Amino acid sequence: MAIVNAMEKIVEIKTEEFLENIDCCKCEQCLENIKCIALNNLPAKYVSSSKGELFSRLGQIMIKQNTVDIDVAVMNAINIVKEHPRHNK
């Protein structure tokens, strides 16, 4: 059994979803920055999980619940990284 933060998975899914329609850099560094900023503004949701698959499904289920706060946090994070990308060019 492992303890995982389900919020990480939710933020990952949300970030990918939003970025499909947003003109923002999608390099690894920027994606990580977006997830870090969003996660720092959201409460952790720890769950015990023996399988990665369960972890993934849990993320999907939680997304269908009240996720306005998560949407806002991810959108803010994307805007911050979009305006101030930290990647090396």
Of 57 and 87, the one with the shorter C-beta distance to Zn ion is: 87
Amino acid letter for position 73: A
* Closest among 80, 3, 75, 78 to 46, alpha carbons compared: 3
| Residue selected from 2, 16, 17, 27 as contacting Zn ion according to rule CB under 5 A | 27
Question: In this chain, which stretch among 16-24, 33-41, 61-69, 79-87 interacts with Zn ion, using CB under 5 A?
Answer: 79-87
Give least dist CB 47 to Zn ion, A: 31
Q: How far is the CB of 59 from Zn ion (least distance, A)?
A: 24
Residue 80 binds Zn ion, judged by CB under 5 A: no
Q: Which residues contact 85 (CB under 8 A, 6 or more apart)?
A: 25, 29, 30, 33
Interacting residues with Zn ion (CB under 5 A): 25, 27, 30, 85, 87
